[in-house]
Structure formats: structure tokens, C-alpha cells
Structure 1
Amino acid sequence: MSFLNLQDIYKQVILDHSKYPHNMGELNTDYKLEMLNPSCGDKITIYMNIENYTIKDIKFVGSGCSISIASASMLTDELRGATLDEANNKINNFLNMIMGKEYDSHILEDSNSLENISKLPARVKCATLAWKISEKIINKERDNFE
């Protein structure tokens, strides 16, 4: 498959997640956090049901650009069913990818389609917002668990 075909596929994945986001909605849970990206107005709330150190369910609500919504949608697919350690590993790999650092692409699924965001510094915060929210929720829960 040529590089251009792969780019087209990645664009389509991003557009699909943006137009038809997965796992959009609220959960009745204590594990929720909302953050705002003041530079562009993206606002995302992540909801997690965590049981036995595992993310049993995850949803989000929010408003923002297509990158922000697509990234939040991908995040929910990536983290549902993961242990907190697995989720943290995915988050770290995603953030490294977006920052143009070394990462393991085999750990990520559709989120790999956002790799080129690292070349668009103004969009990095859009792509990472939901992931940083989830990281905060997970770190807080891991601190409580230990």
C-alpha cells in the first residue's frame, strides 16, 4: 500500500470518528473530569467506570474541533476493558506519538491515524485533551488503590 493511500485511510478514520463518535454520553460515576482547551475552546468530559483496577466502561461528552472529538472517540475505544496499567501504557504511547517521540505503534489502534498531528503544533492540544483527562483520572485512582 502506498504512503498516499495510507494517508487517505487515516483521514477517513479521523473523519468517521469525528462525524460518528463512539461512546458519546454520560455515565453515573465518581470517575469523571472535565477540562477545557482555552486556546481553541475544546471542552471534553471523560466518564469512567473503574472496577477491580479495570476500566469497565468509558464515555465522553464534549464540544470542539474534529480532531478533539475524533481523539476522544478513539480514546474510549482504546481504553474500554483495559487495566489501569494497560491504559496508562496506551496513554503514554499516544502522548509520545503526538509529541513526535518514540512510541510503540502496536499498542495503539485507530489512534495511530493521528500520528501526523505532531507536525501541526497548534493541533497537539486538541488531540491530547481527552488523553490527558484520562491520565489524571487513572493516576488519581492508582494513588487511591496503592
Structure 2
Amino acid sequence: MEGCASARVPPLTSRADDIDQLIGFSTGADDYLVKPANPRLLLARVAAVLRRTDGRRRAQEPTQVTLDGVRIDLERRSVTVNDTPVDLTRIQFDLLAVLAENPQRVLTRGQLVERVWGDWFGDDHHLDVHLSRLRQRISAAGGPRVAHAVRGVGFRFVD
């Protein structure tokens, strides 16, 4: 099946036998398209799959998180504290979002670095500086102290 059976987009293959199509569907394909295919039909099928999967993703993911007067709109990448807008840098927003998604959980420095920077080779001082500035901006707007340090372990959203 040319490696397409598990893909989310329709596999495009020259195999038109019913058994090949049944194998494709049984291994997880959402659709099956035989070559030569009409390019418009292929694009329409891809668009249909994307509509279905995008709708599922949006239904599962919350778009706003509100904790202790801090409202984080994940889609708009905006933050308000008691209805006062707070301007954050990209890194500060990402740190706040990660902490707010896990409010009671202590996240290690490594987990925060991985979730915000990915494969990064800087030092811990960068994380400390960003967290300090994040705390300053949230508290200046009247919000709680966020990114509470748990000695020797990491950080959590609030105390």
C-alpha cells in the first residue's frame, strides 16, 4: 500500500482491488483513492479529513484557562488579570500556559525547558530570568504570584 495505510490523508495508490482497499481501511486509513486521481477530488478529500480532525482537536482542547483571576486565552495568546490585559513575551506566555495547564503539578526545570524551548542547550539562568519577569508582569497587574518555586524540584502555577 506504499506506506500510506496509517496516514490521516487518503492513500493514493494504483492498487484498485477490493481487498487492497479493505486492508487500507482496516489498518486505519480514513479514505482510499486510486490512481490516476482527479487532483480536485484529492484536495476535496484531504480538506474533508482536515475538517474532521481539526474539529475533534478543538473540541478536546480548552481554549481558555482561568486560575486565581488570571485568564489565559490559548488561541488568542492573551492574558488578563482581573480583566486587565497583561502584555507578555512569547516565552513568558508559553511558560504561563504550561504552568496553568498543570496547576497543582510541580514541573521540573527540564520539563519547562522541554515544553517551552524544545531541544535547547542554554543554562538554567535563562529560565529563571523569564520566570522572574513573568512574575513581575502578573503581580504588577494585581495577580497572584505565579511560577512558585518548589525547592529542589521545580515550579508550579501558584502556591
The normalised TM-score by structure 2 is: 0.29
| Structure whose residues are more often helix by fraction | 1
Q: RCO (CA 8 Å, sep 6+): is it higher in 1 or 2?
A: 1
User: Max radius of gyration: which structure?
Assistant: 2
